[in-house]
Amino acid sequence: MKTIFAAAITETVAQLCIQANTHLPPDIAAALDRRRREEPWPLAQKTLDLLWDNMELAGEARLPICQDTGMACVFVELGQDVHIEGDFEEAIHAGVRAGYEQGYLRKSIVSDPLRRVNTGDNTPASITVHLVPGDACTITVAPKGFGSENMSRLAMLKPSDGAEGVKAFVLETVRLAGPNPCPPIVLGVGIGGSFDKVAYLAKKALLRPIDQRHSDPYYAALEQELLRSINETGIGPQGFGGETTCLGLSIETAPTHVAGLPVAVNVSCHVTRRATARL
């Protein structure tokens, strides 16, 4: 049994909020760099260069890469041999509160979806906890902007729709989104599970480094095929035309019901942020 104090969780979450908002993960930065070198359309190349310059400037000036510093989505893998001294969830919220204040990050959360009053400190965080073997506590903060989040979609397809139906739904989602999610986009696709689970799978897919393919070769091939198709739409960076519409696409799957084929597409932009620490 290992004891982790709530204060350590708060401190860690605060640092992760700032880190995630000012530095892109290495896999996203590498993909952006490669794409800007390979992009054949001049205007698109110029736009990708601007995004690259912006990323570098943000790191140097400690400015957020994007002004929408997002809803703080916090994912915790909690070892079952860990004892938390203090209030676990409150410790996370306190970390978000501190990180968004100290990092000069934007507070974008309203306390009620219809009456819409800003909470003023970007809390509450959206917290997802998984119990895992061992005595470690791994925390990932993935701030999610809503320009792209709003373009996400979910469908309960028929089993007979099959892989073709899934592909058509993903491409339809990309076309409907067009320029709105600030392409180049990053997509997380969930397939299977139930109505609620499939949305979680899509979100979880965005946590995987985009240069890491699905462990099942069938889905790895589907990821590659979808990425190719999306980059043939011509939408391009910012929707101004070009090849680079999508930097990466990851699929997560789960067993599902004999009667169903849920599919969810979580749309993210090139500012796909995540920072992880292990306590």
Partner 1 sequence: MQYHLTTPATREALAPLRAGDTVFLSGVVYTARDAAHKRMMELLDAGKPLPFPVEGCAIYYVGPTPERPGAVIGSAGPTTSGRMDAYAPRLLDLGEAIMIGKGKRSQEVKEAVVRNGAVYLGAVGGAGALMAKSVKSLEIICWEDLGCEAVRRLVVEDFPLTVILDSQGGDLYLSGPQAYLSSRG
CB of 35: closest distance to partner 1 in angstroms? 14
Q: Is 69 in the site for partner 1 (CB under 8 A)?
A: yes
Structure tokens at 21: 């908002």
Q: Residues 160 to 179: which contact partner 1 by CB under 8 A?
A: 178-179
DSSP single-letter state for residue 221: H
Q: Residues 19 to 38: which contact partner 1 by CB under 8 A?
A: none
Instruction: Please give the backbone phi and psi of residue 258, each rounded to the nearest 5 degrees, phi first.
Output: -55, -30
Within 10 Å of residue 159's Cβ, how many Cβ atoms? 12
- 177-206 footprint of partner 1 as x/- string (CB under 8 A): -xxx-x------------------------
Residues 6+ apart with CB under 8 A from 157: 165, 166, 169, 260, 261, 262, 263
177 contacts 239 by C-beta, under 8 angstroms: no
Q: Is 233 in the site for partner 1 (CB under 8 A)?
A: yes
Q: Is 102 in the site for partner 1 (CB under 8 A)?
A: no
User: Pairing between strand 126-132 and 153-157?
Assistant: unpaired
Q: Is 262 in the site for partner 1 (CB under 8 A)?
A: no
DSSP single-letter state for residue 125: P
Structure tokens at 145: 């902007």
Q: Is 228 in the site for partner 1 (CB under 8 A)?
A: no
Residue closer to partner 1, measured from CB, 117 or 258: 117
Residue closer to partner 1, measured from CB, 38 or 53: 53
Cα separations (Å) of 196 from 132, 144, 226, 263? 21, 18, 23, 11
Structure tokens at 46: 């110029």
The only residue of 7, 50, 131, 221 in contact with partner 1, by rule CB under 8 A: 50
CB of 15: closest distance to partner 1 in angstroms? 17
CB of 194: closest distance to partner 1 in angstroms? 30
Residues that bind partner 1 (CB under 8 A): 41, 43-44, 47, 50-51, 53-54, 57-58, 61-69, 104-108, 116, 118, 120, 147, 150, 178-180, 182, 233-236, 238-243, 269-271
